Amino acid sequence: MGKNKEHSSEAFLLHLGDAIRNRRISLYLSQEELGSRANLGRTYVTSVENGLRNISMITLLRISKALKSLPSIQMLAAEKAYNKNEKN
């Protein structure tokens, strides 16, 4: 994979992490509480929110359920932010 594609992928993961973090904060959940609800560790949640993990769709589904949301909502928020940054 070329450097630009890698950078693009990493940027998208950062935006997905931001979308998850924003939803978690809006529900007044700690990372630990989100992890507990999604059956994930707090450090794993931290790495997802920081864009350091390329999570599976199953993990996104578990996180989204814990956030009382749909995976598509998190993906759409990430896509919008990603596209906005790509234009700049």
Residue 3 has pLDDT above 50, yes or no: no
Q: Which pTM does this prediction carry?
A: 0.89
Provide the pLDDT for residue 2.
45
Q: Which pLDDT band holds residue 1 (cuts at 50, 70, 90)?
A: very low
User: Of 44 and 87, which is predicted with more confidence?
Assistant: 44
> Within the chain, what is the greatest distance between any pair of CA atoms?
39
What is the arithmetic mean of pLDDT over 20-33?
98
Radius of gyration (C-alpha) of the chain in whole angstroms: 13
Domains and CATH numbers, the chain: 3-87 (1.10.260.40)
pLDDT tens digit string along 33-77? 999 999 999 999 999 999 999 999 999 999 999 999 999 999 999
Q: Is the pLDDT of residue 11 over 80?
A: yes
- Where does residue 6 rank: exposed (0-12), middle (13-18), buried (19+ CB within 10 A)? exposed
Structure tokens at 73: 């909502």
The C-alpha atoms of residue 61 and residue 24 are separated, in whole angstroms, by 14
